[in-house]
Amino acid sequence: MTVVLPRGAAAPGPVREDGVLRHAEIGTLELESGFRLPGVRLAYETWGTLAPDGSNAVLVEHALTGDTHVASGRARPGAPADEQRAAEAGGWWEGLVGPGAAIDTDRWFVVCANIVGGCYGSTGPASPAPPEVDPEGRPWGSRFPMITIRDAVRAEEALADALGVGAWRLVIGGSMGGARALEWAVTVPDRVRACAVIAACAQSSAEQIAWGQAQNLAIRQDPDFRGGDYYDGPAPVAGLGLARRIAHVTYRSAAELHHRFGRTPQGERDVIGARPAERGRYQVESYLDHQASKLAGRFDANSYLVVNEALMSHDVARGRGTLEEALARASCEWLVAAVDSDRLYLPHESDVLAAALPGEVRRRTLTSPSGHDGFLIEGPQLGKLLVETVLRED
Amino acid sequence: MTVVLPRGAAAPGPVREDGVLRHAEIGTLELESGFRLPGVRLAYETWGTLAPDGSNAVLVEHALTGDTHVASGRARPGAPADEQRAAEAGGWWEGLVGPGAAIDTDRWFVVCANIVGGCYGSTGPASPAPPEVDPEGRPWGSRFPMITIRDAVRAEEALADALGVGAWRLVIGGSMGGARALEWAVTVPDRVRACAVIAACAQSSAEQIAWGQAQNLAIRQDPDFRGGDYYDGPAPVAGLGLARRIAHVTYRSAAELHHRFGRTPQGERDVIGARPAERGRYQVESYLDHQASKLAGRFDANSYLVVNEALMSHDVARGRGTLEEALARASCEWLVAAVDSDRLYLPHESDVLAAALPGEVRRRTLTSPSGHDGFLIEGPQLGKLLVETVLRED
């Protein structure tokens, strides 16, 4: 495998670059299904510097539609302006990761990779298929394989090799990131010292599968989806938008929606019209319309299907006996945290996981009115939990 | 207005007919929006006999995709075989309504009407538009107006007139039926003696509106929907099926889905496939597929939009001041019951309603693992509540 440095980048040296998108070529990935995915590239960013003994590496795993930009950073002096801007932009766990933050990048070498199948720089359905699959180099589209959480971990293991990381001091993630963190600790136990599973579970539940199915159908039933081979035409933005609306409601709480929006109309137009198409929207509809168009503007529908299917497939015990037997493979210490108002990844599921884990397990709760998204929003609380538990000074 | 007896029916006489579909012509309905809907017909069924003093009438209001067949009955001797079969078929509150049941049809004269805009015999989007709207008599389709819960009550008031019911001893309904029951007691207070609002609320919440929007978009984004004018082609069954999947998950509980289905695959096929389209389904997916095709086989997509929009519009206080001021118009006694595991109509919303109601209010809870659908499933519990409260012997 080869690490491909960004355009114009100097060879790795003493100048620290944080939050800059890079790519690693990891070759062929052997998938759980038996499918061999050739020519895989993983996008990733790093913050801080790997210690000579390699003991300070932290892997941060992003959630379903997340990207590699966990926190703002800084490109090397002289880097192109767009690279500087991208590095300095705020990230999705801004404040949790950075110099002096709970995950202190003056101390830890932090890595975040885009999941294989995603659309933030890693090989995914929108990537050109290799010549043996498509001599014309058209995108994978409908031919892109199913990826499991375990497959994603195997890809990231190759990235760890490339970065010279023997074992992670900590693997941490929320939601689908939590599923990946857990799967890391069980699939590659000798390379994980501590694992933080936030707002996630051991095995995707019937409820989570049901919502996943609805989201996937919303995309697949969009006439612009065309079975997944839509890259030469309009993207299925309406279907992806509907998928996001469904998901987004499950990510928040009914109480929060009530307090923020209630039944208030958006603007002046009456919500009672002669025909439904002629009525004004409610604020909560306008809010979800905004969430839908934001996602449709930044995410590829095929990648949404791939990562959603990966999450539906999440079962750390698959092929490994009972849940307890599966988890007994791991040898790290644990933080398991739930969001108290989460209605998608129920706190009870964190209890089930914590009860089945071996070794030292801290089961904690994030307090938030915002539901599942609390794992993103309540960064300061989570930081406090981390420094008290898996990142404490010994 | 005219009551239209079913084909071959005798004039009303001493022979009691229960659970037989009938129709009433109620003329033009003046809607909240100002739209005048001409030539409205309401489908309804009755059980039992109206007392000479009219004191024993009970109105049962159906839920979103419900019909008029609350319980089995019996057609008059000599009625056509299909009419007999239809009357004798089990209903959606079977056991709660019938001879000797909690709503005892040997004592009460029970009526259930299909909501205007529905597809079980009342005027709706699939009905032929009148000549002034469409000289060719094509279905209303996209031209059908928005109906509010209040509009539906006004239509049923005309049915009460036609049936000779001055005041209802009880109006009862669950979910959207509960919204209609509440609206009856507030819109026409002098015609309601008691009101039972089951698994419903005073004003549809942001959460309920959000789920309603997703369901409506699922239908509207189906290419077969064609803006609502699809009656000369294939129906938007995929969109309607997705709407049902979304709704159905909100109608059940995560715990029930977990206990019934977990992550179990449906059949032999592996849930990990080379491509998602090639993988086997989970049982919970198969279950939701079944719910989707069942509804798509029995319900019209335009009607789904009309009744869903009606429910989203539900606000008993619209134009009537505060919630307390609006409810102060009512003068009946009340049963307000929630299902303990309901995550769509939260028990808290029943508390809010009960606290704001005037007069004698009983706030009760149905115990069920099944979520919102518990209001349908837990008929015996509900019957017990009714005979202890609003139907008790004085």
B43 lies in the same domain as B129: yes
CB contact under 8 A, B249 and A315: no
pLDDT at position B11: 43
Boundary-marking domain end, from B308, B329, B347: B308
Yes or no, beta carbons of A205 and B263 under 8 Å apart:
yes
> Residues near B225 by Cβ (< 8 Å), separated by ≥ 6?
B219, B236, B239, B301
Do A179 and A56 reside in the same domain of the chain?
yes
Angle at A43 between CA A40 and CA A46, to 5 degrees: 140
Q: Does residue A393 sit within a domain?
A: no
Please tell me the distance in Å from A111's CA to the nearest CA on chain B: 29
Domain region containing B341: 2-204+315-388
Q: What is the pLDDT of residues A289-319, one digit of tens each?
A: 999 999 999 999 999 999 999 999 999 999 9
Task: Please report the pLDDT score of residue B371 as a whole number.
Answer: 98
Q: How many CB pairs under 8 A join A and B?
A: 173
Q: Do residue B329 and residue B380 come from a single domain?
A: yes
- On whether both A353 and A273 belong to a single domain, the answer is no
Amino acid at B63: A
What is the pLDDT, as a whole number, of residue A394? 67
**Which residues are CB-contacts of A14 (< 8 A; sequence separation ≥ 6)?**
none
- B360 belongs to a structural domain: yes
- Cα of A218 vs its chain's centroid, Å: 21
Q: Is residue B366 part of a domain?
A: yes
pLDDT for residue A10: 40
pLDDT category of residue B331 using cuts at 50, 70 and 90: very high
Report if residue B140 sits inside a domain. yes
- Of B308, B326, B345, the last residue of a domain is B308
Identify the helix (H) or strand (E) that includes residue A307.
helix A301-312
Is A34 in Cβ contact with B206 (below 8 Å)?
Answer: no
Q: What is the average pLDDT across B127-151?
A: 97
Catalytic, B342? Answer yes
pLDDT of residue A253: 97
Which of helix, strand or coil describes residue B199?
Answer: coil
Question: What's the pLDDT score for residue A2?
Answer: 57
> Hey, how many other C-beta atoms are within 10 angstroms of the C-beta on A209?
25
CA A359 to chain CA mean position, Å: 26
Q: Domain with B100 in it: what CATH number? A: 3.40.50.1820
Are residues A163 and A103 part of one domain?
Answer: yes
Closest Cα to residue B353, out of B183, B188, B203? B203
**Could you tell me if residue A354 is inside a domain?**
yes
Summary mean pLDDT of chain B: 95
| In contact, A174 and A372? CB cutoff 8 Å | no
Best interface-test mutation with A: which of B224, B240, B272, B323 has the largest number of A CBs within 10 A?
Answer: B272
Question: Rounded to whole angstroms, how far apart are CA atoms A14 and A12?
Answer: 7
Neighbours of B311 (CB within 10 A): 21
| Regions in chain A scoring below 70 on pLDDT | 1-14, 394
pLDDT tens for each residue of B164-191:
999 999 999 999 999 999 999 999 999 9
Nearest to A214 among B242, B262, B272 (CB): B242
Domain boundary among A262, A278, A308: A308
Does residue B264 share a domain with residue B367?
no
> DSSP assignment, residue A326?
H
Question: Of B206, B276, B312, which has the smallest distance from its Cβ to A305's Cβ?
Answer: B276
Is B218's CB within 8 Å of A242's CB? yes
Tell me if A373 is assigned to some domain: yes
Query: Of A191, A239, A148, A226, which is closest to residue A59 (Cα–Cα)?
Result: A191
| CATH value at residue B243 | 1.10.1740.110
The Cα–Cα gap between A305 and A225 comes to: 11
What region does A164 belong to: left with phi over 0, alpha with psi -120 to 50, or beta? left
Q: B29 versus A13: which is more confidently predicted? A: B29
Query: Is the domain of A159 the same as that of A276?
Result: no
Domain count, chain B: 2
Q: At B39, is the secondary structure helix, strand, or coil? A: strand
DSSP string of A218-285? HHHTSTTTGGG--TTS---HHHHHHHHHHHHHHHS-HHHHHHHTTT-BSSSS-S--SSGGGSPPBHHH
Q: Report yes or no on B146 lying in a domain.
A: yes
Residues A118 and A239 in one domain: no
Q: Which of B72, B127, B175, B204 is catalytic?
A: B175
Rg of chain B, C-alpha, whole Å = 21
Give the number of other CB atoms < 10 A from CB of residue A234. 11
Q: What's residue A7's pLDDT?
A: 44
B343-381 pLDDT, tens digit each: 999 999 999 999 999 989 999 999 999 999 999 999 999
Q: Note whether B207 contacts A249, CB cutoff 8 Å.
A: yes
Residue B163 and residue B223 share a domain: no
Residues B103 and B214 in one domain: no
Active site residues of A: 175, 342, 372
CB distance B29 to B127 below 8 Å: no
Nearest to A263 among B203, B262, B288 (CB): B203
Q: Are residues B262 and B364 in the same domain?
A: no
Measure the CA angle with vertex B22, ends B16 and B24; round to 5°. 120
Q: What is the pLDDT of residue B10?
A: 40
Task: Report d(CA A360, CA A332) in Å as an integer.
Answer: 8
Give the residue ranges of the annotated binding site of A for substrate.
244, 373
Average pLDDT over residues B128-144: 97
| Residue B16 pLDDT | 84
**pLDDT at residue B393, as a whole number:** 80
Calpha distance B149→B177 (Å, rounded):
9
Asked whether residue A181 is domain-assigned, the answer is: yes
CA distance A18 to A16: 7
Calculate ∠ Cα A159-A228-B288, nearest 5°: 100
Question: Do A49 and A55 form a contact (C-beta atoms < 8 A)?
Answer: no
- In this prediction, residues B325-338 reach a mean pLDDT of 98
> Which of A146, A151, A287 to mutate to probe the B interface, most B CBs <10 Å?
A146
**B2 pLDDT band (50/70/90 cuts)?**
low
What is the pLDDT, as a whole number, of residue A75?
A: 96
Same-domain check for residues B219 and B195: no
| Mean local confidence (pLDDT), B310-321 | 98
